[in-house]
Chains A and B, each alone.
Chain A
Amino acid sequence: MASVSVTTSQVLAREALQEASRTAGTAPGLLTRLLRGTARAAVAVGRRTAAIVALAAIWEVLPRLDVVDPTFLPPLSQVLVAWWDLLLSGELLDHTQASLVRSLAGCALAIVAAIPLGLLIGWYRPVADFLNPLLELFRNTAALAILPVFVLILGLGETSKVSIILYACAWPILLNTIAAVRGVDPLLVKSARSMGLRPFRLFQKVILPAAVPTIFTGIRLAGAYSILVLVAAEMVGAKAGLGYLINYAQFNFRVPEMYAGILTISVLGLLLNLLLVRLERRFSTWRVSR
C-alpha cells in the first residue's frame, strides 16, 4: 500500500507538471518549478512514512482476514472510530490532560531538583565520593520496582503518581548533569583560570554554558521516561489519565478503546520528544561539527 501511495503521488505530480508546462508554453516557469518541488516533497514524505503506512495496513487487514482474532486485535479502522468517539465525548481530552499534568509536573520537579544536585556532585569531588555508592545503588533500581513503596508511603493520590514520575525523570537528568560538568574541556577551565577567574565565576561562565547541551540531552530522555512511567503510575488507584483509560478499558473488555488509549499515549510521547529535540537543538547550535 505504501508503494502504491508513493507511485500515485508521483503519477499525479507528473500529470500536474505536464499540465503546467502545457499552459505555461515551452519555458518551464515558476509554476513548474513549484510543482516539481512539491512532487519531490511528496516523495520524501512518502518514503519516510512508508513503514508506518505498512504497519497500519497490516493492522487493518490481518484481523479482517481472521489471521488474528479481531476480538483481541480489532482492525485499525475500528480503533480509530473508538478514538473519535472518545474525542467527541470529551473523555479523551480529560484523560490526556490528567496525564499531561502529572508528566509535566513530575518532569519539571525533576529538573528543578536534579540539575542543582548534579552540578553540586559534578563540581565538588567530596560530595561525589560521598554520594556515589548511593547513586549506583538507586540508579540500578527500576523505578517501577519502587512504585509500591511510593504508594505505601504517599498513598494512592496524586502525590505518589507525580513522585514516581519525578523519581524516574530525575535519573537521566542527574547523571547527564554530572557527566556534563565532569566532561568540560580542562583546557577551557585552564584558559579561564589564566584570566584570573575565581571558582564561582568560572562555574557560571565556563562550566555551566559548557554543560548545557549534555544536560539538555538528559532532559530529553527524562521527557520520554515521564510518559513511559505514566501508564504504570496510573494503573494504581487513578480515576483519570491515559494509563487509567487503557487499564480500565482492558478490564471492561472495551478493546478498541484500549488501543485508542495506547495510540494516544504513543503519539503524545512522540510529540513531546519532537518538541524537546527542537529545544535541544536550539540550545546546542555551537556543538555542531565537534
Chain B
Amino acid sequence: MKLQIQGVGKEFAVRGADRPFTALDDVNLDVRAGEFLTLVGPSGCGKSTLLDLLAGLAVPSRGSILLDGTLVEGPGLDRGVVFQQYALFPWRTALSNVEFGLEAKAVPKRERAERARTYLELVGLSGFEERYPHELSGGMRQRVAIARSLAFDPDVLLMDEPFAALDAQTRESLQEELLRIWQRTGKTVVFITHGIDEAVYLGQRVAVMTSRPGRIKRVLDIDFDSREGDLRADARFGEYRHEVWTLLRDEVAAASEVVPVG
C-alpha cells in the first residue's frame, strides 16, 4: 500500500457556533502503489479537505494517514500537488516555475534547468520555456503545473480537480496526456474530480464519497483491457458511468445540489 487513510476525520471550528463543523468523518481508503485512483463526490463533500490532509497542509482531527507506512505529519516533496487554479508563480517563467520544486529540493543549479526542460518536454511544452504564465493559455498553464509537480519526482501525485477550469476540448486532450504521463512515469495518482466521466475515464479505481460529512461510500474497480482508443464509446464505460451516477444521485439529493454531469 502506498497511502493508507485510516479512520480519518476533520473538523473545523466555526465562529458563532458551539459545535464544530465536520467536513470528513471516518474516511478509510487504501491507495496502491502505482495506481490511478479517482475520488468523486458531490460538491462540498470534503474532497479538497481530504486532499489537503494527504498533502500534509492540514492535520486530521482523528485517525491517521500513512505514506509507505510512515505517518504523514506535514508537507513534503514525496507528494506533488496540482491545484485547479494552477498556482503558478506569475513572476517566474514556465521553466523557472518548474525549477521551483527543484530549488526546494536543493538540486544543483545546472541540473535544475536540464530537468525542468525535460519535464516541460514531457508535457508537450518545448519552446515555451521562457514564457510567463500570463502569456500561456489555461491548458498550457496546467501543463506547466503538472511538469512542476513531476519534476521533483514525488511518489504520489495529488490532483485537485486540475482540469475543472478548462474548456471541454482542452480537458479531454489533457486527460489523455495525463494517462500517457502516468503510464510512463509509474507515479501513484490520486485525482479528485466532481465529473463522473472524468472519474471513470481516468481511474483504475473510482472512490465515491458521500455528501457532508464526507465518507467513502464505495470503491469501484474500473476494468478495461486497454485504455487505447475511444474509451468513452465502450459499452462498459456507460455501465461504469451509470453505476457511479447511481451511487452519487442519492448523495447529491442529500446535499441538495444540482446533479453534476461531467
Interface residues of A (CB under 8 A from B): 185, 187-188, 190-197, 201, 205-206, 209-210, 212, 285-290
Contacts and interface: CB of A to CB of B under 8 A. Distances in A.
Nearest to A187: B87
B172 interface: no
A198 to B, nearest CB: 9
Nearest to B56: A194
Contact of A290 (B77, B79, B90): B90
Nearest to B104: A195
A195 B87 CA distance: 12
A287 B57 contact: no
Contacts of A289: 134
13 contacts: A187-B83, A191-B81, A191-B83, A194-B79, A196-B75, A196-B104, A205-B103, A206-B89, A209-B89, A285-B132, A286-B91, A286-B92, A287-B90
Contact of B87 (A191, A201, A286): A191
Contacts of B79: 194
B134 A290 contact: yes
A194 to B, nearest CB: 4
B104 to A, nearest CB: 5
Contact of B90 (A194, A205, A286): A286
B81 A194 contact: yes
B132 A286 contact: yes
B22 interface: no
A206 to B, nearest CB: 7
Interface in B70-108: 74-77, 79-81, 83, 85, 87, 89-92, 100-101, 103-104
A190 B87 contact: yes
Contacts of B36: none
B89 A188 contact: yes
B95 to A, nearest CB: 14
Interface string B49-77: 00000011100000000000000001111
Nearest to B133: A286
B119 interface: no
A285 B99 CA distance: 20
Q: Give me the 6 closest cross-chain CB pairs, A-B, nearest first.
A: A191-B87, A194-B81, A286-B91, A195-B104, A187-B87, A286-B90
B57 A286 contact: no
Contact of B100 (A193, A195, A288): A195
A190 B74 CA distance: 12
Nearest to B154: A195
Contacts of A210: 89-91
B200 to A, nearest CB: 27
B163 interface: no
A197 B133 CA distance: 21
B245 interface: no
B77 A286 contact: no
A185 B87 CA distance: 9
Contacts of A288: 134
Nearest to A197: B104
A192 B77 CA distance: 11
B240 interface: no
Contacts of A209: 89, 91
A195 B152 CA distance: 9
A205 B76 CA distance: 17
Contacts of B83: 187, 190-191
Contacts of A286: 90-92, 132-134
Contacts of A194: 55-57, 75, 79-81
B180 to A, nearest CB: 24
Nearest to A191: B87
Interface in B96-149: 100-101, 103-104, 132-134
